């Protein structure tokens, strides 16, 4: 029960690896393994703590059923499109105005095939409206559809106290208690909400200056600049840093905002395999040795773009190795700490703090206030000349409205709390609680036999579901049991790797987590989600897997 | 040929089988064949063998680097610095510092001024009703949403705001973004893809330019508000399309314009654009950040100003950061068009949603706009007043419509260098600031702008400015220009 994939034949490297250890060559294999481990130990300089990350292969039967599931969905889609086109089935889709029927169609038909025939069936699992603080629990507005999800109607009922394991409320600063929001309230009363101008014109208030100083102090760097939107922080600043003749090396799983920023910069973009240092080093070597294609001129500069925690994989960037590589090849490093700032490291200073590195080893520290700080917006921090340059040349400084003052104040108060500037240990406790919750939740899910992705210390916890039908069922059943989970499928993930994603929060109590775990356990049995072939004490094998991955 | 091969070992092998009389004949033929024939065939065979074993291409001079050379190259390479140094007195580096809210009365660099720089057209930034609404929302929802719209970041206030905006604009649907800049910049690439064609006004603002760039479509730029030039380009495209009708059938065409242009303060000739739209079957995207909440009887913008059916415009986008004095932006239009952004608008799908208190503030601002439609008349009257008062300023030209609440003062005669022009204008701005009129130059990224507007002082009119203050501003600017440009 706990291990349905245990006896099945599967493909992929993990399988080969396991087969080897079971087979006649086990002695040989053991020797290899020792070599591998010593190899890893030979670089103690990289990691001062165990770096345990796992991405278990999809069991073959799950992969087959997933493709089958999409296949059937697609067939039915064609059938229903046929019925719709011939007026047999009523179509609820919005249509073009009749005055514009002879225009070139705004959408190509196949573009919307997936949306119309697959997404529409399970659409109720996204965009669920809530009507309370997105804290450890929230209130979901109940909605029903009588036309198969084409439209929703609100019943007027509120599903109260749904346990929230979906929001990025890592440190629990999404809260509305009177005393916690005193300063925010005061700032709102004084400043109002708008700014009506950009930073360079008339939108630079003392609040922004205060926040920037605090951010720099929090991160332990010379200066910082803040922007009104996290997404735009990436897309408006990367183009200011690199341009034509520069090379961007970007992790293949980077967030859309980074990809957009890279694209807008006009620099050449190459992607390396997710968190794979061999792949990165190969690209770096080639870039430095061979220069630009065709012209063969040397690259002006090379910028590596990575994230601290990858929000869909739950993995943590291999920062120490990347820093060593970037020093060796004289590249620059841009680190997006959207998810890791606040949620990693003993002082919550993100992935740099987590690995105990020097913040100046990272050339551009970027992060957002949306997640751990419960506010909105983003920052870029680093050396003063970098920040000065952005103050002059960032798209965000010139053309975008500056950050709302009460939103800035929310960041200030939560950041001060983390730094202990409010005179309490409340902030540090939140950081510790988050780490504890993460470890507890991950261990329990592993024990239950689910396939869990990512680093053991990452508060983003993806649980693999594979089949699109299970995606819908998982989310719906858990909502019935008053648990709000996030599920993600294609195109946000590879087509067969649909998953649920839990985000831990320091505000989750042990009781809440136990409730969630109990329900997930039951639902996992009902839906047969316990795919993992690892034994219950998963540790040694996980370790092994990491070193295995390191090698290829 | 191989049959005559004298060197073949086949005959003997085959002879062992016995019955191969053909082979015997072959051997006989070999003896009987003339010598020149044998020689020729021998050469041919050798030639084939050579062809088989020699490389068919010429190797280029290979320059395989040795490991040592590679290391040297890596050692040698010196990148440019991540950012070039910025001089400490760069004009854009030293921001004005505003203490307190940037409302009607503003404290800039320690000096209290009357604000002629912030886009707070309707004076809602400091409005107590708006603040009350935001406070109530803060109490209920806290500050952040901690998630994108898809993952529990949709709040009831967002739905309410979308509904209210759609109702206000009299369209089927509206969609909100959490940042003004990201709105049109995300909306354009949601529809226009590689291979599609976008006709865009030369003076289009920076957010539009970024949207165009992200879409990777073919961009055709027409001269600012030049309908004839646009029609010329459309016609040119039509001729092109006739050459390749198959391609034309899938090539979408868009016209992207602004209602009131941020960079010039002029209004777009919408009625003519709509005519062209139907004539050449191109869709119109209209950016209304300056005209929304300003033009038209009810503040619905440039469509209402010209009395054009809003359904004739395919997509209207505006930010909520000017008239509504909140943060964020929205797009509105028919559901057929707008709904697509809920999965394809990058700034919508992949960004955290708008903090509820900002949405609540925008809703309250809409309430105020709906309750006081006179406010738009008042604003226009004030615009005209200062516009008129500034005519004939020494050395400065007023650029922009008389009813536009944001317009430009440009130098009548450039000094010849942009840098000096900016310095000159900055002296006027500084002198006005000293006399308690807060002004700012329009800032641009000179290297990034597709067509860089000339340097200018941007004057912003709001309903809070009294007649006296408007007169004072006009006379202060005139005096400053007189003393500095003379």
Same fold, B95-124+373-485 and B128-371: no
Percentage with pLDDT > 70 across chain B: 94
pLDDT, tens digit, 9 for 90 and up, residues A63-97: 999 999 999 999 999 999 899 888 888 877 888 88
Whether the CB-CB separation of A308 and A351 falls below 8 Å is answered with yes
Report how far apart, in Å, the C-alpha atoms of B95 and of each of A397, A416, A429 are.
10, 25, 38
Report phi then psi at B459, rounded to 5: -95, 130
Among the listed residues B1, B51, B59, the one whose alpha carbon sits nearest the alpha carbon of residue B26:
B1
In whole numbers, what is the pLDDT of chain A averaged over residues? 87
Do A189 and A148 have their domain in common?
no
Residue A64 lies in domain: 60-122
Q: Which residues of chain B are within 8 Å of residue A191 when distances are taken between CB atoms?
A: 100-101
Interface test with B, best of A177, A192, A244, A394 (most B CBs within 10 A): A192
Question: What is the per-residue pLDDT for B255?
Answer: 97
Yes or no: say if B342 and B257 are a contact pair by the CB < 8 Å rule: no
**425-484 in A: which are within 8 Å (CB) of B?**
484
Residue B21's pLDDT is what? 72
Asked whether residue A457 carries a pLDDT value surpassing 60, the answer given is: yes
Q: Does A125 contact B at CB distance below 8 Å? A: no
A113 versus B58: which is more confidently predicted? Answer: A113
Q: What is the pLDDT of residues A249-302, one digit of tens each?
A: 999 999 999 999 999 999 999 999 999 999 999 999 999 999 999 888 999 999
Q: Please say if the pLDDT value at position B54 is more than 80.
A: no
Q: Which of residues 378-417 of B touch A (CB under 8 A)?
A: none
Strands, E assignment, A422-467: 454-455, 460-466
pLDDT, greater one: A110 or B100: B100
* In a shared domain, residues A451 and A389: no
Contact of B36 with chain A, judged by CB distance below 8 Å, is answered with no
Assigned CATH for B128-371: 3.40.640.10
User: Is there a single domain that holds both residue A304 and residue A261?
Assistant: yes
Which CATH number is A360's domain given? Answer: 3.40.640.10
Claim to verify: residue A391 and residue A441 sit in the same structural domain: no
- List all residues of chain A from 299 to 318 with a beta carbon under 8 Å from chain B: 299-303
A3/A537 Cα distance (integer angstroms): 13
| Domain boundary assignment for chain B | 95-124+373-485, 128-371
Which pLDDT band, with edges at 50, 70 and 90, does A477 fall under? very high
Q: Taking the CA atoms of chain A, what radius of gyration do you get in angstroms?
A: 25
Q: What is the mean pLDDT of residues A316-325?
A: 95
Q: What is the pLDDT of residues B266-299, one digit of tens each?
A: 999 999 999 999 999 999 999 999 999 999 999 9
Of the residues A370, A395, A419, which one is the last residue of a structural domain?
A419
- Look at residue A397 in the predicted model and tell me its pLDDT: 94
Would you say residue A544 lies in a domain? no
Q: Is 60 exceeded by the pLDDT of residue A539?
A: no
Q: How confident is the model at residue A534 (pLDDT cuts 50, 70, 90)?
A: confident
The predicted structure's pLDDT at residue A50:
80
Query: Do A460 and A312 have their domain in common?
Result: no
For chain B, the helix, strand and coil percentages under 3-state DSSP, each to the nearest 5? 45, 15, 40
Measured in whole angstroms, how far is the alpha carbon of residue A450 from the centre of its chain? Answer: 20
Could you tell me the pLDDT band of residue B406, with boundaries at 50, 70 and 90? very high
Question: Under CATH, what is the fold of the domain B95-124+373-485?
Answer: 3.90.1150
For residues A480 and A517, membership in a common domain is answered with yes
User: What local confidence, expressed as pLDDT, does residue B267 receive?
Assistant: 96
B436–chain A nearest CA distance, Å: 14
The alpha-carbon gap from A236 to the nearest alpha carbon of chain B, in Å, equals 9
Does A206 contact B156 at a Cβ distance shorter than 8 Å? no
Query: In terms of domains, do A388 and A240 share one?
Result: yes
Residues 6+ apart with CB under 8 A from A497: A58, A464, A466
A333 close contact with B: CB closer than 8 A: no
Confidence (pLDDT) at A543: 45
Sheet containing A223-227, strands listed edge to edge, beginning at the edge strand earlier in sequence: A223-227, A378-382, A364-368, A332-336, A302-307, A247-251, A268-272
Q: How many structural domains comprise chain A?
A: 3
Distance of CA B87 to the CA centre of its chain: 29
DSSP code string of B262-276:
TTT-PBP-HHHHHHH
What mean pLDDT comes out for the span A226-237? Answer: 95
pLDDT at B62: 61
Residue from the list B77, B117, B206 with its beta carbon closest to the beta carbon of A197? B117
- Residue A148 sits in a domain of what CATH number? 3.90.1150.10
Mean pLDDT across chain B, nearest whole number? 92
Cβ(B92)–Cβ(A392) under 8 Å? Answer: yes
Question: Between the CA of residue B136 and those of A414, B165, B364, what are the distances in Å?
Answer: 21, 20, 11
Across the interface, of B79, B86, B154, the residue whose CB is closest to A385 is B86
Residue A217 contacts B, CB cutoff 8 Å: no
Query: What's the whole-model pTM score?
Result: 0.87
C-alpha to C-alpha distance for B109 and B133, rounded to whole angstroms: 30
| Cβ-defined contact of B142 to A388 (cutoff 8 Å) | no
Mutant choice from B352, B353, B456 vs A, greatest count of A C-beta within 10 A: B352
Q: Look at the block and give the residue holding tokens 């807060």.
A: B438
Q: In this complex, do A301 and B82 lie within 8 Å of one another by their Cβ atoms?
A: yes
With cut-offs at 50, 70 and 90, classify the pLDDT of residue A190. Answer: very high
pLDDT of residue A373: 96
Given a cut of 70, whether residue A541 has pLDDT beyond it is no
Q: Distance (Å) from the C-alpha of residue B441 to the closest C-alpha of chain A?
A: 7
A552 is a domain residue: no
Residue of A nearest to B130 (CA): A192
pLDDT, mean of residues B238-259: 94
Lowest mean pLDDT among A7-11, A108-112, B94-98, B228-232: A7-11
For chain A, helix (H) and strand (E) counts, in that order, are: 18, 15
The sheet with strand A460-466 has its strands ordered as A460-466, A498-503, A486-488
User: How far is Cα A78 from Cα A89, in angstroms, rounded to an integer?
Assistant: 13
Task: For residues A184 and A155, state if they share a domain.
Answer: no
pLDDT band at A535 (very low <50, low <70, confident <90, very high): low
Residue A428: partners with Cβ closer than 8 Å, 6 or more residues away: A347, A348, A418, A420
Say which of A104, A368, A371 has its CB closest to residue B252: A104
CB interface of A with B, residues 126-155, below 8 Å = 126-135, 138, 141
Closest CA to B389 of B468, B442, B454: B468
A69 touches chain B (CB under 8 A): no
The band of B31, judged by pLDDT with boundaries at 50, 70 and 90, is confident
Segment A311-336 shows an average pLDDT of 95
Asked whether residue A19 is domain-assigned, the answer is: no
Cβ-contact A465, A499 below 8 angstroms: yes
Residue A6 lies in a domain: no
> Which one, of A15, A231, A413, lies nearest residue B182 by Cα?
A231
Distance (Å) of CA B221 to CA B209, B226, B272 = 11, 11, 17
Count of pairs with CB atoms under 8 A, one residue in A, one in B: 366
Distances (CA, A) of B35 to B7, B27, B40, B47: 15, 14, 9, 18
- A547 pLDDT exceeds 50? no
Q: Do the strands B329-333 and B173-177 form a parallel or antiparallel pair, or are they unpaired?
A: antiparallel
Check if B324 contacts A (Cβ < 8 Å). yes
Do residue A236 and residue A370 come from a single domain? yes
Residues A499 and A356 in one domain: no
pLDDT, tens digit (0-9, with 9 covering 90-100), for A11-50: 333 333 333 333 333 333 333 333 333 334 444 456 777 8
**Interchain pair B147, A134: CB under 8 A:** yes
Q: Tell me, yes or no, whether A465 and A501 share the same domain.
A: yes
- What's the pLDDT score for residue A296? 87
d(CA A343, CA A354): 10
Residue A368 belongs to a domain: yes
B179 touches chain A (CB under 8 A): yes
Q: Are residues A107 and A182 in the same domain?
A: no
Flag whether A351 is in a domain: yes
Residue of A nearest to B446 (CA): A393
In a domain, A260, yes or no: yes
Instruction: Identify whether the C-beta of residue A437 lies closer than 8 Å to the C-beta of residue A240.
Output: no
């Amino acid at each position: 029960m706990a291990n349905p994939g245990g006896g099945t034949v599967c493909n992929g490297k993990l399988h080969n690896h396991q087969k080897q250890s079971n087979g006649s060559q086990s002695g040989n294999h053991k020797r290899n393994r020792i070599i591998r481990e010593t190899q890893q130990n030979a670089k103690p300089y990289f990691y001062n703590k165990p770096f345990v990350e796992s991405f278990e292969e999809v069991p073959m039967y799950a992969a087959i059923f997933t493709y089958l599931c999409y296949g059937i969905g697609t067939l039915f889609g064609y059938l229903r499109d046929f019925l719709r086109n011939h007026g047999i089935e009523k179509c609820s889709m919005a249509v073009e105005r009749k005055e514009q029927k002879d225009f070139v169609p705004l959408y190509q038909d196949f573009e919307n095939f997936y949306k119309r025939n697959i997404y529409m069936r399970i659409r109720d699992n996204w965009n669920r409206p809530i009507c309370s603080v997105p804290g450890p629990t929230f209130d979901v507005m109940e909605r029903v559809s009588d036309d198969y999800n084409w439209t929703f109607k609100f019943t007027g009922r509120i599903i109260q106290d749904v346990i929230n394991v979906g929001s990025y409320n890592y440190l629990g600063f999404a809260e509305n208690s009177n005393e916690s929001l005193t300063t925010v309230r005061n700032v709102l009363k004084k400043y109002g909400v708008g700014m009506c101008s950009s930073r360079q014109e008339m939108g630079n208030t003392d609040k922004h200056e205060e926040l920037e100083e605090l951010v720099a102090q929090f991160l332990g760097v010379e200066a910082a600049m803040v922007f009104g939107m996290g997404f735009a922080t990436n897309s408006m600043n990367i183009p200011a840093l690199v341009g034509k003749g520069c090379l961007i090396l970007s992790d293949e799983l980077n967030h859309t905002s980074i990809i957009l920023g890279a694209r807008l910069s006009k620099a050449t973009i190459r992607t390396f395999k997710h968190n794979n240092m061999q792949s990165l080093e190969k690209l770096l070597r080639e870039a430095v040795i061979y220069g630009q294609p065709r012209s063969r001129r040397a690259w002006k500069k090379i910028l590596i773009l990575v994230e601290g925690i990858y929000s869909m994989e739950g993995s943590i960037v291999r920062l120490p190795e990347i820093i060593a590589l970037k020093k060796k090849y004289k590249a620059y490093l841009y680190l997006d700490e959207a998810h890791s700032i606040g949620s990693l490291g003993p002082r919550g200073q993100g992935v740099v703090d987590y690995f105990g590195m020097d913040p100046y080893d990272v050339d551009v520290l970027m992060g957002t206030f949306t997640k751990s700080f419960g506010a909105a917006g983003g920052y870029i921090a680093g050396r003063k000349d970098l920040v000065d340059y952005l103050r002059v040349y960032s798209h965000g400084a010139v053309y975008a409205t500056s950050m709302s003052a009460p939103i800035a104040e929310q960041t200030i108060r939560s950041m001060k709390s983390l730094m202990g500037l409010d005179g309490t240990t409340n902030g540090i406790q939140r950081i510790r609680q988050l780490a504890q919750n993460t470890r507890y939740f991950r261990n329990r899910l592993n024990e239950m036999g689910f396939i869990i992705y990512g680093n053991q210390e990452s508060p983003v916890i993806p649980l693999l579901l594979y089949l699109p039908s299970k995606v819908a069922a998982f989310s719906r059943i858990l909502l019935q049991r008053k648990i709000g989970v996030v599920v993600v499928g294609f195109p946000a993930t590879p087509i067969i790797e649909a998953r649920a994603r839990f985000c831990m929060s320091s505000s989750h109590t042990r009781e809440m987590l136990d409730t969630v775990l109990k329900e997930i356990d039951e639902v996992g049995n009902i839906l047969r989600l316990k795919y993992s072939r690892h034994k219950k004490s998963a540790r040694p094998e996980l370790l092994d897997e990491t070193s295995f991955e390191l090698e290829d | 040929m191989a049959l005559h091969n004298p060197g073949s070992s086949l005959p003997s092998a085959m002879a062992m089988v016995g019955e191969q009389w053909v082979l015997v004949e072959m051997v006989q033929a070999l003896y009987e064949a003339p010598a020149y024939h044998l020689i020729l065939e021998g050469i041919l065979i050798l030639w084939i063998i050579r062809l088989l074993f020699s490389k068919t291409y010429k190797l280029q001079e290979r320059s395989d680097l040795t490991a040592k050379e590679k290391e040297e190259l890596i050692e040698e390479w010196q990148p440019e610095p991540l950012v070039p140094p910025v001089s400490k007195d760069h004009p854009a580096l030293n921001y004005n510092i505003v203490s307190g809210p940037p409302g009607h009365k503003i404290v800039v660099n320690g000096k209290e001024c009357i604000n002629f720089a912030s886009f707070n057209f309707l004076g809602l930034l400091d409005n107590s009703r708006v603040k009350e609404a935001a406070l109530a929302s803060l109490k209920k929802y806290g500050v952040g949403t901690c998630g994108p719209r898809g993952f529990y970041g949709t709040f009831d206030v967002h739905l309410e705001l979308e509904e209210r905006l759609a109702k206000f604009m009299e369209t089927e649907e509206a969609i909100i973004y959490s940042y003004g800049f990201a709105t049109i910049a995300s909306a354009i690439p949601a529809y226009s893809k590689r291979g599609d064609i976008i006709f865009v006004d030369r003076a289009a603002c920076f957010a539009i330019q970024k949207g165009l760039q992200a879409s990777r479509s073919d961009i055709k730029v027409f001269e600012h508000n030049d309908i004839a030039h646009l029609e010329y380009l459309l016609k040119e495209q039509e001729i092109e399309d006739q050459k390749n009708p198959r391609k034309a059938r899938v090539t979408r065409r868009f016209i992207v314009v602004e209602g009131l242009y941020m960079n010039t303060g002029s209004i777009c000739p919408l009625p003519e654009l709509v005519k062209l739209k139907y004539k050449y079957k191109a869709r119109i995207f209209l950016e209304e950040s300056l005209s929304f909440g300003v033009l038209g009887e009810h503040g619905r913008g440039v469509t209402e100003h010209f009395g054009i059916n809003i359904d004739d415009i395919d997509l209207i986008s505006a930010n909520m950061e000017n008239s509504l004095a909140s943060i964020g932006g929205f797009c509105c239009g028919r559901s057929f068009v707008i709904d697509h952004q809920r999965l394809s608008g990058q700034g919508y799908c992949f960004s955290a949603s708008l903090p509820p208190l900002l949405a609540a503030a925008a809703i309250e601002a809409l309430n105020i706009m709906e309750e006081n439609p006179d406010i738009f008349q008042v604003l226009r009257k004030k615009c005209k007043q200062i516009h008129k008062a500034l005519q004939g300023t020494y050395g400065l030209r007023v650029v922009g419509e008389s009813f536009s609440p944001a317009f430009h003062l440009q130098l009548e005669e450039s000094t010849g260098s942009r840098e000096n022009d900016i310095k000159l204008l900055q002296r006027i701005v500084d002198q006005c600031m000293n006399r308690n009129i807060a002004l700012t130059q329009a800032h641009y990224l000179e290297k990034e702008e597709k067509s860089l507007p000339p340097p200018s002082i941007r004057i912003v009119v709001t309903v809070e400015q009294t007649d006296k203050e408007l007169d004072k501003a006009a006379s202060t600017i005139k005096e400053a220009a007189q003393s500095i440009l003379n």
